[in-house]
A and B are shown apart, each in its own frame.
Chain A
Amino acid sequence: MREEMLGSILSELNGSSVDIEASAVISTDGLMISAVLPQSLDEDRVGAMSAAMLSLGDRTAQELARGKLEQVLVKGDTGYVLMTYAGSDAVVTVLAKPKAKLGLIFLDVKRAAENIAKVL
């Protein structure tokens, strides 16, 4: 039941913008909870890297007195990776195209993360 609900939230998130290529919910220990990813992406790697990045982001924000972490954004020349907490035990990761309108994506991801936290 929860799995279906999470899948539905992610599908809705992916459908909210043509710029979102993939999304996933991952435990803070890097284990995949739910994912809507293209076949070319390895679930385990997305999970482990997302959780590691969020963990480092958390510590960086703390050490450099930036307050409570809201999100981690990685920009590469072929797109973005956005990681946001979904509650205290999970991470929602979104992969977006390089020309993506980040403002809209931030809003959609924030909303999705709140819904995921409720389900979890």
Chain B
Amino acid sequence: MIDKNGQIVRPDFVELSEYAKVFSSLNSEKEALLRDIAKDMAPRLNEVTEHFYEILQSIPQALPYLEGRTDALKKTHLKWMQSLFTGPFDAAYTESMYDVGDVHVKVNLPVEFMSGGITLICNELYRIIHELYQADPKRAADAVSAISSVMGYSLLIMQKSYNASVEEQLDKFLLITGMSRALFDKLASTFKVLL
């Protein structure tokens, strides 16, 4: 959002954390479980990152975003993967994920890359979980649920950046043209037939 002086207004990250946790069902039990399985997951995270970038390399639309940056991106990715099993998933984590989303917006990464990326990573993490805990189906199910929550939590926050970016563009347009939001809505509804 942009205020009337053209300054970008950052969200309240404590509020956003709470909001995202409700949607993703990320609670203290799941956070504790993520920390608990961290020791088992840590040695496997590099293969998740490698697999993720291998798949991305096979997607032509992703290539322009990877060229000459894959090694640096892998390092950042691995660091983030590790943080998924350590937490804490507080306002600072939310802010960092929001900034990650913001960077994605700035490089014009298509929005579906985030949900697509999260799906790829989840699939790989679930595969590893089932492999690690095949003798303990309950632990595997709980771990999958915790991973699903933390990934959903992260995705929701990154998507917020995208929404905020679109809103910022509109706010900027309204500020430049002097139009009110009501007038913009009126224009949009009047000419929706043409769109």
Q: Which of A28, A42, A49, A55 contacts B177 (CB 8 A)?
A: A55
Please tell me if the beta carbons of B190 and A55 are within 8 angstroms of each other in the complex. Answer: no
Instruction: Judge if A51 is at the interface, Cβ distance under 8 Å.
Output: yes
Interchain CA distance A45-B191 in the complex, whole Å: 8
Q: Kindly list chain B residues whose C-beta atoms are within 8 Å of the C-beta of A31.
A: 186
Instruction: Judge if A102 is at the interface, Cβ distance under 8 Å.
Output: no
Please tell me if the beta carbons of A58 and B191 are within 8 angstroms of each other in the complex. Answer: no
Instruction: Judge if B182 is at the interface, Cβ distance under 8 Å.
Output: yes
Instruction: Judge if A44 is at the interface, Cβ distance under 8 Å.
Output: yes
Q: Kindly list chain A residues whose C-beta atoms are within 8 Å of the C-beta of B190.
A: 30, 42, 44-45, 47-48
Q: Kindly list chain B residues whose C-beta atoms are within 8 Å of the C-beta of A51.
A: 179, 183, 186
Among B146-195, those with CB < 8 Å from A are 176-180, 182-183, 186-187, 190-191
Please tell me if the beta carbons of A56 and B182 are within 8 angstroms of each other in the complex. Answer: no
Q: Kindly list chain B residues whose C-beta atoms are within 8 Å of the C-beta of A42.
A: 190
Interchain CA distance A30-B190 in the complex, whole Å: 10
Please tell me if the beta carbons of B178 and A30 are within 8 angstroms of each other in the complex. Answer: no
Interchain CA distance A45-B187 in the complex, whole Å: 8
Contact with A along B68-112 (1 / 0, CB 8 A): 000000000000000000000000000000000000000000000
Interchain CA distance A52-B191 in the complex, whole Å: 13
Please tell me if the beta carbons of B176 and A28 are within 8 angstroms of each other in the complex. Answer: no
Known contacts A45-B191, A48-B191; A55/B186 CB under 8 A? no
B: number of interface residues (CB 8 Å): 11
Please tell me if the beta carbons of A58 and B186 are within 8 angstroms of each other in the complex. Answer: no
Q: Which of A28, A47, A59, A62 contacts B180 (CB 8 A)?
A: A28
Q: Kindly list chain A residues whose C-beta atoms are within 8 Å of the C-beta of B187.
A: 30, 48-49, 52
Instruction: Judge if A29 is at the interface, Cβ distance under 8 Å.
Output: yes
Q: Which of A29, A44, A59 contacts B178 (CB 8 A)?
A: A59
Please tell me if the beta carbons of B186 and A59 are within 8 angstroms of each other in the complex. Answer: no
Known contacts A45-B191, A48-B187, A48-B190; A29/B177 CB under 8 A? no
Min C-beta distance of B70 to chain A, whole Å: 45
Min C-beta distance of B192 to chain A, whole Å: 11
Min C-beta distance of A47 to chain B, whole Å: 7
25 contacts between A and B (CB under 8 A): A28-B180, A29-B180, A29-B182, A30-B182, A30-B183, A30-B186, A30-B187, A42-B190, A44-B186, A44-B190, A45-B190, A45-B191, A47-B190, A48-B190, A48-B191, A49-B187, A51-B183, A51-B186, A52-B177, A52-B179, A55-B178, A55-B180, A55-B183, A56-B179, A59-B177
User: Besides A48-B187, A51-B183, 17 other CB < 8 A contacts?
Assistant: A28-B180, A29-B183, A29-B186, A45-B190, A48-B183, A49-B187, A52-B179, A52-B183, A52-B187, A55-B177, A55-B179, A55-B180, A56-B177, A58-B178, A59-B176, A59-B177, A59-B178
Residue positions of B touching A, CB distance < 8 A: 176-180, 182-183, 186-187, 190-191
> Nearest 7 CB-CB pairs, A to B?
A30-B186, A59-B178, A29-B182, A48-B190, A44-B190, A55-B178, A48-B187
